[in-house]
Amino acid sequence: MNRLFKSIVIGLAVAGSLASAQAADFKPRIVRFGYGLAEDSNQGRAVRYFAEEMGKLSGGKWKVKGFGGASLGSDPQMQNALIGGAQEIMVGSTATLVGIVSDFGVYDLPFVFANEKEADTVLDGPFGQKLMDKLQAKGMVGLVYWENGFRNLTNSKRPINKMEDMAGIKLRVMQNPVYIDMFKGFGANAVPLAFSELFTALETGTVDGQENPVTTIESSKFYEVQKHLALTRHVYSPWIVTVSKKWYDGLSADEKKALQQAAAASRDFERKDSRAASAKAIEVLKQKGMQITTPSDTELGRMRATTTVAVDKFAAQPGHAEVVKELQAELAKLRK
Ligand code: TK8
């Protein structure tokens, strides 16, 4: 009797959840999710996680297909495809969004976040949301921030222990004025270039170096073409998951809700996964033959002192002083 009762209850529960999945308003959709890193990277793993979540939440109606290795284009090309409605979803650095909403450059100001916890709190809080909301007027909708991570420097010329060691190094930076100004300030020869062209540029010697989190240095196999790694952690770099507003506006309320839910789940997955990968990456890079240096706090402080030029230049543009002030206020609250 007891067993029969239990199986009835389980039966009803299963029927109930199936019915609610069917009652929800989901259209069959093919959704293209583009990203710049290799399929075998923290970015690729999180895109696959998101695709699975969306499959479940839509009762199998949504087929989210990941396109890695910039196969749908560089970050700026994908942003334009989203705006035009030719692509549904992408993830990329907030730094590459400055051509659309220049305020995003605020995250690139050197040595702003002290640790991941600060970054999570600010990005997931009202400051991060307000900045994200500015994308809507430009034809994109921001869903969540993922972690790219603290950026470090690699090059093929020499070990970097102090700022002067960067002198004259042709260093690829993202297409973002804060990065260009920051590395010019360090004495490097900053060359803006899309990530999709970076490996070849390093391989052919078009540039001598680049800067990215250790997870990316590993997954992009930069150790094959770079000898030296300096752990500078000069910027905490967020990724942002964005969708086409044109496409988003045609979704049902149920679809929008599920999209946000899957995005939040993917964020939690991605940060955990990236941090685990990051903890192992330095050892892997050593084994691959990279020579690793850690500039002292004094030397990092000297580098930081030169970045006031980049910061002031950013803050001098319309609306930016306000954004910088707001971010500093958020950080001050956390550090009390
Ligand atoms: C991936 C990029 C990458 C970024 C860069 O498309 O360009 O260096 O760090 O993560 O967004």
| Letter string b/e over residues 226-259, b meaning 16 or more CB atoms within 10 A of that residue's CB | bebbbbbbbbbbbbbbbbbbbbbeebeebbeebb
Between 12-21, 178-187, 280-289, 322-331, the lowest mean confidence (pLDDT) is in: 12-21
Cα 20 to ligand 1 centre (Å): 39
**Structural domains in the chain, sorted by start:** 27-149+238-280 (3.40.190.170), 152-235+282-335 (3.40.190.170)
Residue 219 near ligand 1, beta carbon < 6 Å: no
Decide if pLDDT at 12 tops 90: no
**Which tens digits make up the pLDDT trace of 149-176?**
999 999 999 999 999 999 999 999 999 9
β 89-93/29-35 pair status: parallel
Residue 176 near ligand 1, beta carbon < 6 Å: no
pLDDT band at 58 (very low <50, low <70, confident <90, very high): very high
Of 74, 23, 42, 33, nearest to 259 (Cα)?
Answer: 33
Confidence (pLDDT) at 19: 47
**Which tens digits make up the pLDDT trace of 106-116?**
999 999 999 99
**Which tens digits make up the pLDDT trace of 61-75?**
999 999 999 999 999
Model-level ipTM above the cut of 0.90: yes
Average pLDDT, stretch 200-215?
98
Average pLDDT, stretch 224-247?
98
Residue 96 near ligand 1, beta carbon < 6 Å: yes
CA 41 distance to own-chain centroid: 12
Give nearest CA residue, ligand 1 atom 4.
Answer: 93
Percent of the chain with pLDDT over 90: 93
Give nearest CA residue, ligand 1 atom 6.
Answer: 36
Give nearest CA residue, ligand 1 atom 7.
Answer: 195
